[in-house]
Amino acid sequence: MTDNPAAIGQLATHDVTNQPPPLVDYNLYAQDVAMQEAVERAGAAWASKKLTDFGAVCGCGDVIEWGFLANRHTPELHTHDRFGHRLDEVRFHPAYHQLMQLGIENEVPSIAWTAKEAGGHSVHTVLEYLLFQTEGGVCCPLTMTYAAIPALRHQPDVAAVWEPMILSGKYDPAFAPLMQKTGVTIGMAMTEKQGGSDVRANTTRAVPGDDGNYLLTGHKWFCSAPMCDAFLTLAYTDDGLSCFLVPRWRPDGTRNNFLIQRLKDKLGNKSNASSEIEYSDTWAQIVGEPGRGVRTIIEMVHHTRLDTTLAPAAMMRQALVQAIHHASHRSAFQRRLVQQPLMQNVLADMALESEAATALTMRIAQAYDMSDDDDHRAFARMAVAVGKYWVNKRLPGLAYEAMECLGGAGYVEESPMPRLYREAPLNSIWEGSGNVICLDVLRAMAREPQSLEAIVNELALTQGADRRLDVMTAKLRDDLAKPEEAERRARRLVEQLALALQASLLLRHAPDYVADAFCQSRLDHEWGHCYGTLSPDVDQARIIERAWPAAA
C-alpha cells in the first residue's frame, strides 16, 4: 500500500479513456441553427447579438455549475427567529441568486414589454429557452414576473407602482418593503387543495379593510417562489371570485401576514421552493373588476402558458445536445456511437422532435408579438394551448431516451440528465394539466371560433405541399365537423392539431430532408412506438449534423 496520494491516479486500472469531455464553455444559441432561423422569421434578428452573448454565458462552465449548486443546496424555510417572532422566509444558496440575477439583468422577464422593436415576446422566449437549458428552477419566478404585467394593467393605479419595478432590469433579493427595493419579482398563488384547476371551488375570502383595500383569509396549496415580492391570487368577495395583489410587506413597512406553512418535497428541480401558505387578515389590493377575477388572472395564465411551452422545448434541446455530444465522443465496437446506424436513428428521431417543438413554440411567440391584430391574437389563443399540451407530452419520453444514450453515466447526478428527467413532467401540470388544456381547446372552439379559423388558415398555407399533411388536415376538418363525443376525443383532436401545425411549419421553413422525415414518421405511419424507428431512407446523419454542428 502506497503512502503517496499522487500514485493513486497513476494506477494502471485508473487510466481514463473513451470518455467524452465535459460539455461546458459552448454557445447554446450559436449551435442552434433551427432557433436562429426561427428568430429571423419572427422579425427579431435585431436581438441576434444579445442572444448570442447570452447563449455563451448560459453555456459557461461556471454558470452550469451554479445550476448544480442551486439544486444540491436546497432552499430552507425559516418560520421563526430564535426569539419566536414570525419570519416566513425561505433562504437560498448564493448560486440561486446568481442565476436569478443573470436572468433579470439579461431582461428575461422584461424585454417583451420594454423592447423598442417588434419581436419582444419572441426574444423573451429565446432568452428563457437558453436559460432553462442551464437551470429551470429560476425560470418559474422569471416567468411569473413576465406574465404578471398584463394582469396588473387591469388596475392602472396598482400597475403604476409595481410595473416600473418589475421592468427595472435589476435583481434585488433583499426581503424588504417595496420602497426600499430596486427591482421586484412577482409570483402567483391560486391553487387550493379542494379545487386544483377548478379555481371556482376556492374558499379564500376577502373582506374590505379600513383603508379601502382588502384583508384575505384562506389557504393556498401551491405557491412557488414564495420569496417573490408580491403575488397575484384569487379570493371571493361579495361580488364573486376576484383577483388581488398580495405583497410580502404592507405599505406601512410591516410584514404582511403571509404565513408559509411548509415547503413541498416535490419532483422536479430542487433549486426553487414551492410552498403552502396561509392568509390570515392578509393585506391585499384588488386587481381588475370585483367578481371578474378569473378573467383578470387569465391574462397572466395566457402568458405563463407560452413559457410552459418553451420550457419543454428547451429541455428537449438540452437532452438532445447531451446525447449527441456523448455519442460523438464515445466509441463502442471500434466506431464512435454517432456513426452507428441504430444510434443515428435514435438521435435523428429526437432531433426531429426537438426542431418541431422549437418551430411551434417560436411561431406561437411570434403571434404574441402580433397580438394587436385580431387574427394573430386568435391564433395565439388556441395555438398556445395546443403547443403546451403536445410539446409537454412529448418531452418525458425524449428525456428518457436521451438519458439512455449516455448509458449508466446518464443516471448519475453529476450529469444534467437526471435533473432534466425529473423536471420533464412539470410544465404539463402547471397552468392546466393535459385534460384541462384539451377541454380549454374545445371551449375556445365553441366560444371563440375565430381561434380555430386562424389555425385552419395557418394550415392552408401549405395546402398541396405534402400529400400526407393534406390527408391529415382533411381528416381534421371531418373530425371538427362532428361535435358529438368531442370531449372523449379531445386529446386525439389536440394531438392532430399539434402535429399538423408542426408539419406545416417544417414544410415551410426547414430543409426538405427534415420536413420529409417528420411527415413520413409522424403523419404517414412509417414510425414505431419508440424513438429510433425512422425509415432507413431518412438522411439521419444530415439531420444530426443540423441539430448539433459541433458533432460534424
pLDDT in tens, the chain (552 residues): 455 555 555 677 778 888 999 999 999 999 999 999 999 999 999 999 999 999 999 999 999 999 999 999 999 999 999 999 999 999 999 999 999 999 999 999 999 999 999 999 999 999 999 999 999 999 999 999 999 999 999 999 999 999 999 999 999 999 999 999 999 999 999 888 887 778 878 899 999 999 999 999 999 999 999 999 999 999 999 999 999 999 999 999 999 999 999 999 999 999 999 999 999 999 999 999 999 999 999 999 999 999 999 999 999 999 999 999 999 999 988 899 999 999 999 999 999 999 999 999 999 999 999 999 999 999 999 999 999 999 999 999 999 999 999 999 999 999 999 999 999 999 999 888 999 999 999 999 999 999 999 999 999 999 999 999 999 999 999 888 887 888 999 999 999 999 999 999 999 999 999 999 999 999 998 889 999 999 999 999 999 999 999 865
Residue type, 272: N
Residue found under cell 466506431: 335
**Per-residue DSSP letter, 345:** H
pLDDT at site 4: 59
| Neighbour-count burial for 495-523, b at 16+ CB within 10 Å, e otherwise | bbbbbbbbbbbbbebbbeebbbbbbbbbb
Distance CA 388, CA 13 (A): 49
Q: pLDDT at position 319, please?
A: 98
Q: Which residues contact 475 (CB under 8 A, 6 or more apart)?
A: 496
Could you report how far apart the first and last alpha carbons of the chain are, in Å?
A: 46
Q: What's the pLDDT at 272?
A: 96
Q: Tell me which DSSP letter residue 12 carries.
A: G
Q: Phi, psi (5° rounding) for residue 367?
A: -65, -35
Q: How is residue 474 written as a grid cell? A: 382533411
Cell triple for residue 533? Answer: 424507428
Q: What are phi and psi of 507, to 5 degrees?
A: -65, -35
**Helices and strands per DSSP (H, E), number in the chain:** 20, 11
Please state the length of the chain: 552
- The span from the CA of 551 to the CA of 327, in Å, is 9
Cell 404517414: give the residue.
Answer: 524
Amino acid at 550: A
DSSP helix/strand/coil, 423: helix
Q: How far apart are CA 335 and CA 86, in angstroms?
A: 62
Sign of torsion over alpha carbons 450, 452, 458, 463: negative
- DSSP letter string, 98-158: HHHHHHHHTTTTTHHHH-SSS-HHHHHHHHHHHHHHH-STTHHHHHHHHHHHHHHTTSHHH
pTM: 0.96
pLDDT at 275: 97
C-alpha cell at 537: 431512407
pLDDT given at position 7 = 57
